Structure 1
């Protein structure tokens, strides 16, 4: 019997998760890539007529928003095969941070691993400048990005503790790229090796 893996991938916005996951998908087409926010939006569309992700927090009461979070976790938990979940360990809100993976969500997702990507804040600022969808975000300096990465690390370990799973920190702060997308390729290699090692075990 094959025992598949469920991996949660987290990083600050604009860090390069989508690029990394695209590389994983190219080399392992049978792996399912799931964006947690997209699943929540599909549920919110059905239940509340929401049309955009930014509307969810504004238009849905807090208790109902949490219910949508839980329904998304239940839906993802039922997926068969190797699954990688693209989400956030923490979400910046009004100068503070909100948990992206609270205990009740981790309990439903039951991941096998949480992979945290960390980068030099200057690299993230450069990547964001090239991403049209991120330009509307409030500008963050290096200190704010580093604080968010620190919050991510705390929240990722707390989530792993609640979910009794492993945490892998891929820290590229002091590893400048010698070519474009080198960090994404290294991250994709790590994820693919983790999945392949699990398949060999089972």
Structure 2
């Protein structure tokens, strides 16, 4: 099974995927941006993930996206792809999974995670120094989450796959990482059902 996991930056996808890997060690987890960066390094001398969208002209960025999709599509077995449904660029949004990409990836499902923007801001504050992110207000984050929802549906339509929305915006955590654990269990259950068993 091939699952695409999407959420706005700083939402906790990495933590969710860490829990998935603990529950299902044989799963392959790939970061789309890492694949793109390796290609951008090789062909354009880009050394930083954030510089890809800032420094690469749109046509070159598209080429890098396509090459990454082709590489990831070749991976065998159950695969989870960590990526973005939409990318904030110059005050607007660029599709992270346009038709030419989603049709190469051929996913079985897109899982979209949504959170209270204040929770995302708190998580991002802990990541200071790890990524070079522009400052965003809660309203900016909510707009990005809305864009993600629209883009995820558009991608699912082109890729003929199912969208699952895990909406945690009005569900406070009763313990640290509870949302990540719930999301991980959901993803593992999807995979196990496709294998004909439950975990």
Shared fold, TM over 0.5: yes
Kindly tell me: are residues 164 and 135 of structure 1, through their superposed partners in 2, closer, same or farther at Cα, counting changes over 3 Å? closer
Cα deviation digits, residues 134-158 of structure 1 (max 9, x gap): 6742221111111110000000000
Give 2:4's aligned residue: 8
SS at match of 1:132: coil
- Taking the aligned partners of 1:40 and 1:135, their CA distance within structure 2 comes to 16
Q: 2:188 aligns with which of 188, 192, 202?
A: 192
Q: What TM-score, normalized by structure 2, do the two folds share? A: 0.94
Cα deviation digits, residues 35-64 of structure 1 (max 9, x gap): 001001111222223222233234433222
- Taking the aligned partners of 1:61 and 1:22, their CA distance within structure 2 comes to 33
In structure 2, the gaps of 5 or more residues are none
CA-based RMSD: 1.4
Q: 1:153 aligns with which of 149, 156, 178?
A: 149
Give 2:174's aligned residue: 178
Kindly tell me: are residues 93 and 77 of structure 1, through their superposed partners in 2, closer, same or farther at Cα, counting changes over 3 Å? same
Aligned length: 197
Is 2:55 aligned against 1:83? no
- Taking the aligned partners of 1:67 and 1:136, their CA distance within structure 2 comes to 23
In structure 1, the gaps of 5 or more residues are none
Q: What TM-score, normalized by structure 1, do the two folds share? A: 0.93
Contact 1:129 1:135 in 2 (8 A): no
Contact 2:87 2:96 in 1 (8 A): yes
Contact 2:53 2:89 in 1 (8 A): no
Counting only pairs closer than 5 Å after superposition, residues 135-146 of structure 1 correspond to structure 2 as: 136-146=132-142
